[in-house]
Structure 1
């Protein structure tokens, strides 16, 4: 069909004798390019109108297909128009560049088809992970991995088809790729290790985008932002990005706190030794308070017991789990629990212990005033009232008291 159109145009140029041949060729080429631009403009607007019309329907895939096909359709129109114009020019020109028209057309068709598929895969990915468009959106990490793999398959297949259409033998290319792959594998083993590490992450899914992860083996802790085929981007809590090669995740331990079912409250609270008589009721009331607390998960381990005789306190172990796993909410619940424990302890007249030290002096050591020291003070006060110039300092003296008396250590 294209050849018939081109031959018709060429016959019109040859038979129309009003202008010179060069002008007639120029006018036809201009008309073809202008017509191509007009058709491309109309095609784009028609697809936009269809997108607006189908956006009101419940079917999401027609919107995705139209959006994916809009730009490739415009490119297809331009490819056809430029090819016809080039064929007309080639009929009257011996330029070498026009000899590649057929090859450019074939490769252009392949490129437009691949471009359409890639855009359709991208739009499908957006739909499958969107909570606004899907009742049960799929996991972003899984969908992203399948999307990347699909795009890679489409691109590799397109490259092989393009090489075949250009006259290259695919079997020779594959054989060369097999031999060259061995050399590339040795030269880029780290790159391949990261690639397969990324593949394992997508396969095993120890974490996904948005998870909080950390590693006790490395200084890695933060929120996963992106999982690529070579690097994984983690944003630390001080907002710095960390780029971790995927191969590292195959050799280190990775914790995923985002998948915890509960958060733990583990505290040791000490009361004074003088409050030992209140230990049993205090422990009982703390346990009852935790069992009735609406934010404590009683289905998990709950321990409240007298733990040990410590150096300056009687220790109570409080071990329980909250229902929430949210970091901020957890600390609010923990604060409420600790305040209620302190109120229970104060309700019995007891006190929370703090580190103290008692000093015992040897027997027979006493610090006191000498007999007559009070008389000296009284006389000093009297003399001070009588004459300020007669004041004199009073020096306290220390003596050893009777046997059996000692200080109280305060």
Structure 2
């Protein structure tokens, strides 16, 4: 249709006999490109105005749709305009490049449509996980997995449609994929194992992005940063990235401390054997203190008991749980609890025991160190006696000289 219109315009210009055929075609092509740019500019501003207007409403999906369609619509206008210009040029030219106009238009339309859908998926992902836009935002890991799967489906479908547009048989491609898939499966079994491992992680959700995980079977511990289809990125506590293939999570045990309900305080405190008379009172006061502590969860197991006669202490077991699960506040609570236990022990005149040893010797046995000490004492006394005599002699001599001088 556009070719017929341009032919009429070209014939009208030709009747005036003003320009050659090349100039007339150039003017028509320029007019088409200029008109395309004008329409694209107007379309972009119209969609922008609609975005600003619909942003004032409570419905978020119309904003997402307009934002996703804005650039692809402009691209579609340019695609159609360039196609019309190429059709006009093809009418007056036998160049081989213009013979693929229809195929390029079909591929361009598929590309624009896929672009819209992919942008819409991205906008939907941002809305579903945002606490500012949703009252109950969905889990990021789940939404991210569905988003990736949706993108893969859209891209695969677009590739098949594009191949069909180029004249390839989809049934042949699928048959080749079925036969070649077996060989590829054997060659890339580890890659497929990681892919299905990632699928299991997204399905079972043993952890999500931001969780602290550790494995007793492997040297794995840190915060999950990203869950991909091939591997999972974990940031260890020394700030190093750890890349774990997803297949590993199907064969190892994984702990998720981020989902703990409480943190445990489990300590053994010993007092001296001399303080055995205060043991019962100390135990009762520690138990009362823990029950009244604001940061201790009294609904969980709480044990304070005299545990055992140890080598140099009477041991008290303290077993309780804090309300907080945060690492730093937990240690602050634990410090407060231990200091209060220390105050209770001191309040009864008792002391916290430390390793001691008493050595009993039979009568008449003296240590070599004691004999050495006695010898040293005797030597010191003899030396001091000699020094005293020398001092006395010097004093007498001085007296005699003084008396001689006076005479």
TM over 0.5, shorter chain: yes
Contact in 1 for aligned 2:223/2:236 (Cα 8 Å): yes
Q: Distance in 1 between matches of 2:293 and 2:209?
A: 34
Q: 1:92 to 1:389 in 2, by over 3 A?
A: farther
CA RMSD, Structure 1 to Structure 2 (Å): 2.3
Q: For 1:281-292, what aligned pairs fall within 5 Å after superposition? A: 281-292=281-292
Q: Distance in 2 between matches of 1:115 and 1:133?
A: 24
User: Deviation per CA, 1:195-244, whole angstroms, max 9, x where unpaired?
Assistant: 11110000000000000111111111111111111111111111111111
SS at match of 2:234: strand
* 1:5 Cα offset (Å): 3.9
Q: Indicate the residue corresponding to 2:202 in structure 1.
A: 202
Q: Indicate the residue corresponding to 1:180 in structure 2.
A: 180
2:387 equivalent to 1:387: no
Task: Tell me whether 358-367 or 87-96 shows the greater mean CA deviation.
Answer: 358-367
Q: Distance in 1 between matches of 2:372 and 2:214?
A: 67
* 1:110 Cα offset (Å): 0.9
Q: For 1:148-167, what aligned pairs fall within 5 Å after superposition? A: 148-167=148-167
User: Deviation per CA, 1:281-339, whole angstroms, max 9, x where unpaired?
Assistant: 11111111111111111111111111111111111111111111011111111011000
Q: Distance in 1 between matches of 2:179 and 2:267?
A: 63
Q: 1:15 to 1:181 in 2, by over 3 A?
A: farther
Q: Indicate the residue corresponding to 2:401 in structure 1.
A: none
Contact in 1 for aligned 2:265/2:334 (Cα 8 Å): yes
Q: Distance in 2 between matches of 1:129 and 1:121?
A: 13
Task: Tell me whether 15-24 or 192-201 shows the greater mean CA deviation.
Answer: 15-24
Q: Distance in 1 between matches of 2:176 and 2:338?
A: 71
Q: For 1:33-48, what aligned pairs fall within 5 Å after superposition? A: 33-48=33-48
Q: Distance in 2 between matches of 1:211 and 1:98?
A: 56
Q: Indicate the residue corresponding to 1:115 in structure 2.
A: 115
Q: Paired residues, what number? A: 390
Q: Distance in 1 between matches of 2:328 and 2:372?
A: 61
User: Which consecutive unaligned segments of at least 5 residues does structure 1 have?
Assistant: 391-410
Moved over 6 A (4+): 368-379
Contact in 2 for aligned 1:86/1:98 (Cα 8 Å): yes
Q: Distance in 2 between matches of 1:388 and 1:207?
A: 90
* 1:383 Cα offset (Å): 5.2
Contact in 2 for aligned 1:312/1:353 (Cα 8 Å): yes
Q: For 1:46-125, what aligned pairs fall within 5 Å after superposition? A: 46-125=46-125
Q: For 1:282-321, what aligned pairs fall within 5 Å after superposition? A: 282-321=282-321
User: Deviation per CA, 1:88-130, whole angstroms, max 9, x where unpaired?
Assistant: 1111111111100000111111110111000001000000000
Task: Tell me whether 192-201 or 376-385 shows the greater mean CA deviation.
Answer: 376-385
Contact in 1 for aligned 2:3/2:88 (Cα 8 Å): no
Q: Distance in 2 between matches of 1:242 and 1:304?
A: 41
Contact in 2 for aligned 1:234/1:244 (Cα 8 Å): yes
Q: Distance in 1 between matches of 2:24 and 2:392?
A: 133
Q: Distance in 1 between matches of 2:210 and 2:260?
A: 14
* 1:358 Cα offset (Å): 1.5
Q: 1:175 to 1:370 in 2, by over 3 A?
A: closer
Q: Distance in 1 between matches of 2:381 and 2:155?
A: 108
Contact in 2 for aligned 1:6/1:84 (Cα 8 Å): no
Q: Distance in 2 between matches of 1:316 and 1:248?
A: 42
* 1:384 Cα offset (Å): 3.5
Q: Indicate the residue corresponding to 2:240 in structure 1.
A: 240
* 1:4 Cα offset (Å): 4.3
Q: 1:11 to 1:189 in 2, by over 3 A?
A: farther
User: Deviation per CA, 1:262-296, whole angstroms, max 9, x where unpaired?
Assistant: 10111011111111111111111111111111111
2:274 equivalent to 1:274: yes
User: Deviation per CA, 1:247-269, whole angstroms, max 9, x where unpaired?
Assistant: 11111111111001110111011
SS at match of 1:387: helix
